[in-house]
Structure 1
Amino acid sequence: MYKIRRCSRLFKRQVGGNLMEILDGISTMENYLCDMASMEWRPIAATFELLPACNMDCKMCYVRMSMKEMNERGRMMNADEWIEMGQKAVDEGVLFMLLTGGEPLLHPQFKEIYEGLRRLGLIVNINTNATLIDEEMANFFAKNKPRRVNISLYGASNETYKNLCNNPKGFTQVENAIKLLKARNIHIKLNFCITPYNIMDMDKMIEFAEKYEIPVAPTSYMYPPNRKEKLGDYNAHRLTPYEAAKARFDLDIKEKGDEFGAFAKTTLDDIKSRENLEPICERGFGCRAGNSTFWINWQGEMTACGMLSGETIDLKKHGMKQSWKMLNEKVSCTKRNDKCPTCKYKNICYVCVASCQAEAGAFEGVPQYLCDMNEEYEKLLIKHINYI
């Protein structure tokens, strides 16, 4: 059976995707600490977005800027500033750290930042496309081991990387990086999102993960790139709701094997049991974002989650302690729509406040794309049950 760690499980618990990269795989004791932090609204995990620039140009990217665009907006924070930020985060109770971008390895002082944060006692994970990991970088990680390197996989061939990421050598670079990291016993996880440009590689990407015995978290749902100023026709870069549902269905079959029939029946029973529930209004995000985790963007601004757009909190103006308090208050007062909490698809849906904002333009909005995707998924389950 394929070694898949499905993103549906992660989103089902309503934990933001990037923040989950910090907390996924923690021990029982660490999980207890995270639960206690959430109960007390204290920060225990943070993401540092070192820069928005990337050495690839993926069609669906939600954040990527060119170096020119980035420099027109402001400047990257240097190693001393990031380490000082890390110390302030530690002072507030942060234990887990995720370094991301853009492509974080592009930061000219990445090694200094990484080493400095580890010296503070932080448990560090890294998000990367892995194309910049050569023998020198692999040796650096071997001497300074991260908790895990999360690699975004975009296809199973150089042709797919060229078409999707504008990098005709991307797959070769990623495979070489994986070999280098595995040879040094560095823990790796693969993430991939199915798009119209790589769906033909879906089975091969899973086989690739199995070949190297690496946990893989595929997903067929992709957020709109709502942090981009010019969105364009973003639906052209993601699957239709039916295609996304069918890809999820196929992935579930691969993951569950002979157990899929029982899973399908249980899922349909749950959907039926939730029909005709009365709408309720809830406040807060319903996840760890802004509750026990936060995100600091490349300009030193705090937000609850990197998938959100809009207002941020200036750390340089308010400081870490006050910024966290302001974020807590903002998150706890956020009103969500009254449909999602009692929707019959709640337990299979990817919905979170970020997806509501991205899909509908507001936290109170209803993400119709996800509604349609879930409906199509239900139809596929019914068809499967009727067939067997």
Structure 2
Amino acid sequence: MRDAGVLWLQLTGGEPLIDPLFLEVYALAYELGMMLTISTNGSRLHNSTILDLLTRYLPYRVVVSIYGATEATYDGVTQRRGTFKLFRRGLAAAREAGLPLRFNVIVVEDNKHEEAEMRALADGFGDDHHVYSNISPTIHSGPESLTSQSTEHLRARTPFTGCNAGVTHFHADPFGRASICKVGRDEQVDLIAEGIEGLSQLPPIADKLMLRTGGCSGCALQGSCGVCRPLAKRYQEANAPLASYCQQGGR
């Protein structure tokens, strides 16, 4: 990635801080001069080894997801007892260490009654936050995540006017397979086998994946559509309710 000119690297998952190679990967990326962002649930931020590394090699940003403002709700959403306590413990440690925090407030059916409290929790740390309430299928088009959608929190999307996926940025999985983004993984490039030269294949792949094909071809509302074609395909393969991603669903 360094040789390809990567300047900004986001480490995500799943939960990246439980990966046995996280410390090694993070330190190497930092030493190579990359600007680093970590997306995490915060449950491991209290770990002294991780905290020592992050304070020594300060990330650009640590983005923490919030799933509830109370123990009962948070543990209910994550379906793991004790996760709220780990979350709060991690936040306290990160704040004391001076890590640059940002928050993603995740609103679903089971925590929607605590949206205001989750926002207040983020604001209490004096940091920026973003609210996510439109739930997408899994990266494999699995529908299981869609059942958590709070229908009254579905937000109208701004029109999708294109993006630079596969051109100025790309996604790489733990096996070295590159795709245009974390959603559009239908065609991947094996960087282990092909090296960084393989990245030159991504722009034409992006052009192909962004074409309005399948159920989107010929739609008269394409100009105001709020989702890209790769994301629309995930919804379609998951048999998601049309209203959750398409303007036609509200007609």
TM above 0.5: yes
Write out per-residue CA displacement over residues 298-349 of structure 1, whole angstroms, 9 at most, x where no aligned residue: 121111111234332212222222x211111111233124545423xx5xx4
Q: TM-score, normalised by structure 2?
A: 0.85
Please name the residue that 1:193 is paired with: 106
Q: Would you say 1:305 and 2:181 are equivalent positions?
A: yes
Larger proportion of helix? 1
Please name the residue that 1:26 is paired with: none
Cα distance in 1 for partners of 2:144, 2:97 equals 42
Please name the residue that 1:122 is paired with: 34
Deviation at 1:165, TM superposition (A): 0.9
Deviation at 1:288, TM superposition (A): 2.1
Partner SS state of residue 127, structure 2: coil
Cα distance in 2 for partners of 1:372, 1:171 equals 37
Partner SS state of residue 146, structure 1: coil
Partner SS state of residue 67, structure 2: coil
Q: Percent identity?
A: 23
Q: Max radius of gyration: which structure?
A: 1
> In the superposition, relative to structure 1, how do residues 301 and 216 fare at CA in structure 2: closer, same or farther (>3 Å)?
same
Amino acid at match of 2:201: M
Alignment of 1:104-119 (within 5 A): 104-119=16-31
Cα distance in 2 for partners of 1:232, 1:204 equals 28
Please name the residue that 1:223 is paired with: 136
Amino acid at match of 2:42: A
Cα distance in 2 for partners of 1:121, 1:210 equals 31
Q: Answer 1 or 2: higher relative contact order, Cα 8 Å, separation at least 6.
A: 1
Native 8 Å contact 1:126 1:148 kept in 2: yes
Q: TM-score, normalised by structure 1?
A: 0.57
Amino acid at match of 2:3: D
Please name the residue that 2:223 is paired with: 342
Please name the residue that 2:229 is paired with: 353
Cα distance in 1 for partners of 2:168, 2:132 equals 25
Alignment of 1:139-150 (within 5 A): 139-150=52-63
Cα distance in 2 for partners of 1:234, 1:124 equals 28
Q: Would you say 1:213 and 2:89 are equivalent positions?
A: no
- In structure 2, which of residues 14, 19, 43 is the aligned counterpart of residue 102 of structure 1? 14
Please name the residue that 1:320 is paired with: 196
Deviation at 1:212, TM superposition (A): 1.3
Partner SS state of residue 152, structure 1: strand
Please name the residue that 1:288 is paired with: 164
Cα distance in 2 for partners of 1:333, 1:213 equals 43
Write out per-residue CA displacement over residues 257-302 of structure 1, whole angstroms, 9 at most, x where no aligned residue: xxxxxxxxxxxxxx9xx9xxxxxxx9xx921211210111112111
> In the superposition, relative to structure 1, how do residues 233 and 307 fare at CA in structure 2: closer, same or farther (>3 Å)?
same
- In structure 1, which of residues 202, 212, 216 is the aligned counterpart of residue 115 of structure 2? 202
Q: Would you say 1:329 and 2:204 are equivalent positions?
A: yes
Please name the residue that 1:238 is paired with: 149
Write out per-residue CA displacement over residues 72-96 of structure 1, whole angstroms, 9 at most, x where no aligned residue: xxxxxxxxxxxxxxxxx12122111
Please name the residue that 1:20 is paired with: none
**Number of residues of Structure 1 aligned to a counterpart in Structure 2:** 241
Unaligned segments of structure 2, at least 5 residues = none
Unaligned segments of structure 1, at least 5 residues = 1-88, 250-270, 275-281, 377-388
